[in-house]
Amino acid sequence: MLEKRNNIKNKFTFWDSFPQVQKDMIEISHIILTHVNSVPGLLGQALEDTFAVPGKMLRPACVMLFGAFGPDADQKHDELQKIATSIETLHNATLIHDDIIDESSMRHGRPSIQTKYGKHIAVYAGDYLVALSLTLLSENAQSLHSVIADGKTMQNILVGETEQYNNAYNIDISEKEYLDQIKGKTGVLFGLACFIGAYESGTKVTKALKAKKFGEYLGQAFQLRDDILDYTTTSSTFKKPVLLDVKDGIYSGPLIFALQNDDNNHLHELVKMGKDLTQDQLHEIENLVNHLGGVERAQKLADQYTEKALASLKKHWPDNENRALIEQLTGRLLKRQY
């Protein structure tokens, strides 16, 4: 048991400079494992696999960090951990379902659930995590308010996720449309995490809505950064999905911004080839996106969203150690190179 704990702890090096968050994330990992270990059959195995290698757990960390602001932070610490667990299981549900849609064979360097267990288990495993998330939230929330926020957030995420398919092969997609898309896809769940942490630790709704706004900015900056990495990292792990996305007509920030500077239409001609693009042409697109300033523009927007997040944090929350941690985390996420 101790060995298992140590193994899990090793995976949380991201949080080395945040010992309290690290402790919470390890405990949340154990709460998740306790729940999925009780699920029988292939479904249970698939769920254990899902959480065998935890991600960075940024969303539950947001719950705990904003949960440390409220007057009931200490008294509600156990409930907050379970609510944070609920946000992490919901996030993993979206990842599993995204992998079905993208037909991704890998997730976090391991075979995706659908590759290993088939589409039927992947659909149900995602659904099960939504259900588990709901149980964890409703058993630990102080009122229906957080559950209502959860339901509406899920609706917004799904509208956001599908928005990119409505815009498939839309070479004229605007900056605003893209920013709305990443708000739905990533921003609103970060927003929910911050809101729910603040609210469930006893912060008033109006104030907790400021936490939501912070989370949305942070999430948008995070997604911009993620989309940038697709065009700047040399690792093949990162590149494959984005190349496939372009063939499928799904365009992210750097490409969209580069298209706006594509005066001689060369990038347009390439992108329009869609499914017929060769590997060499995809690399040419990658180079053009960098040379036409697409990455630069995306980075500038990521900086702006980070600034908005930090300004909102300073304006609405007390100048204490907890706020300093959130500032530190925000800076770190923006600069991450992996």
**Interface with a second copy (CB under 8 A):** 39-43, 97, 100-101, 119-121, 123-124, 126-128, 130-139, 141, 143-144, 147-148, 150-152, 154-155, 157-159, 161-163, 165-166
From the CB of 126, what's the least distance to a second copy, in Å? 8
From the CB of 133, what's the least distance to a second copy, in Å? 8
From the CB of 28, what's the least distance to a second copy, in Å? 18
**What is the per-residue DSSP string for 66-99?**
HHTTSTTTTTTHHHHHHHHHHHHHHHHHHHHHHH
Tally Cβ neighbours within 10 Å of residue 303. Answer: 14
For residue 102, with 0-12 CB atoms within 10 Å meaning exposed, 13-18 middle and 19 or more buried, which class applies?
middle
Residue closer to a second copy (CB basis): 106 or 131: 131
Are 105 and 222 in contact, with CB atoms under 8 Å apart?
no
Residue closer to a second copy (CB basis): 75 or 155: 155
Residue closer to a second copy (CB basis): 41 or 318: 41
Cβ neighbours of residue 256 closer than 8 Å, sequence gap 6 or more: 173, 174, 175, 178, 294
| Chain length of the chain | 338
CA 289 to chain centre: 24
From the CB of 163, what's the least distance to a second copy, in Å? 7
Residue closer to a second copy (CB basis): 86 or 312: 86
Residue closer to a second copy (CB basis): 151 or 331: 151
Cβ neighbours of residue 185 closer than 8 Å, sequence gap 6 or more: 157, 160, 161, 164, 223
Residue with tokens 């010992």: 19
From the CB of 205, what's the least distance to a second copy, in Å? 15
